Amino acid sequence: MKVSYYPGCSLEGTAKEYGQSFETVARDLGIELHELNGWTCCGASSAHVTNDEMAVSLGVRNLLLANKTRMDLVVPCAACYQRLKAAEKAVNTRKTIEGIPAGFATQGRIRHIVDFIWEECGEQAIREKVRKPLQALSPVCYYGCLVTRPPHITDARDPEDPRAMDDILKSLDANVKNWSYKTDCCGGNLMLTHPELARKLVARLFDMALEAGANCIAVGCPMCHASLDTVQRDITRSDGASYNLPVYYFTELMGLAFGNRAAGGWFNRHLTDAKSLLSRNGLL
């Protein structure tokens, strides 16, 4: 299976473990990734609040590169995915935008990797690769705001209750917990401008995850991972205790379950301890 691949800026830096784990899992599943030659920033997260036409143009430039491959475009970062989808919709609803060819249309689908892996690989292919079942893990799956909303941009089938990440982790035998906060906001960029508000949003997610019986959180977004992973040491619960919920990229858990030896290195990059839970349960 061949697809074009837009890693985005975060996977080259702060979210290296996401990129490395995805590329590893892709090889395991027989997915041949063709990274876009000459890709550039999509404009997340500041371009669209600075200059709308610039934001569209940044996205379309990368879509023009993707068109040359005539393949679907797989995007791991939720913010990148949302901006590329927004650019696609913008050029479909406007007559002309400076610098964008008339009649521009994407040749393949823009797909977030959660949906891509589940829809193209499915339960059987994932289960066949499992070497370390994850029964000891009880994650809640956190999709965040941008993978599914707004649905007129993302084309999400069920923007309030996405299921693909849940289904992937269940295929790894994880004890996935159901909760109603999977698409609530984590604060994202507010961590820089309104940190107290952002911390309240994050604390609510932690509280609801614990109430659901989770012992970890799975994500598919670098910004969400940063929000949830970096602030736990700065927030205390209402009872005065501190949070200690590991936050994993779902691809890291796939690589772990597939028995990949590189997984331990991925978890070393987390700020909240991601290894103790796994070690206690014989997964590392």
* 34 close to 5: Cβ distance less than 8 angstroms: yes
Question: 106 and 136: one domain?
Answer: no
Pair 231, 155 in one domain = yes
- Span 65-91, pLDDT tens digits: 999 999 999 999 999 999 999 999 988
Amino acid at residue number 18: Y
In this prediction the pTM is 0.96
* In the predicted structure, residue 48 carries a pLDDT above the cut 80: no
**121 closest CA partner among 74, 79, 85, 77:** 74
> How many whole angstroms from its chain centre is CA 194?
23
What's 30's DSSP letter?
T
Q: What digits encode the pLDDT tens for the residues 26-46?
A: 999 999 999 999 999 998 867
- Residue 118: inside a domain: no
Residue 76 shares a structural domain with residue 141 = no
Averaged confidence pLDDT in the chain: 93
**Enclosing H/E stretch for 34:** strand 32-35
Tell me, yes or no, whether 256 lies in a domain: yes
**CATH number of the domain that 199 lies in?**
3.40.50.11810
- The H-assigned helical ranges of the chain are 16-28, 52-69, 78-93, 113-120, 122-129, 151-154, 164-171, 190-193, 195-211, 222-230, 250-257, 263-267, 276-280
User: Is there a single domain that holds both residue 105 and residue 142?
Assistant: no
Closest CA to 79 of 124, 144, 14: 144
Nearest to 100 by CA among 67, 128, 133: 67
The reply to whether 187 and 260 lie within a common domain is: yes
The larger pLDDT score, comparing residue 104 to residue 180, is at 180
Domain hosting residue 217, numbered range: 131-280
Look at 113-117, 190-194, 242-246, 273-277 and tell me which has the smallest mean pLDDT.
190-194
Task: Mark whether 167 and 65 lie in a shared domain.
Answer: no
The answer to whether residue 125 is domain-embedded is no
pLDDT for 95 equals: 57
Please, how many CA atoms are within 13 Å of residue 230, restricted to the half-sphere of its CB? 15
Element (H, E) at 218: strand 216-219
In a domain, 206, yes or no: yes
Quote the pLDDT of residue 9.
94
For the chain, what is the domain count?
2
Cis peptide before 45 (omega within 30 of 0): yes
Assess whether pLDDT exceeds 70 at residue 284: yes
Does any domain span residue 187? Answer: yes
> Radius of gyration of the chain from Cα atoms?
19
- 164 lies in the same domain as 276: yes
What DSSP designation does 132 have?
Answer: S
Residues 139 and 263 in one domain: yes
Same domain, 244 and 144: yes
Domain end call among 63, 78, 113: 113
144-187 pLDDT per residue, tens? 999 999 999 999 999 999 999 999 999 999 999 999 999 999 98
The size of the chain, in residues, is 284
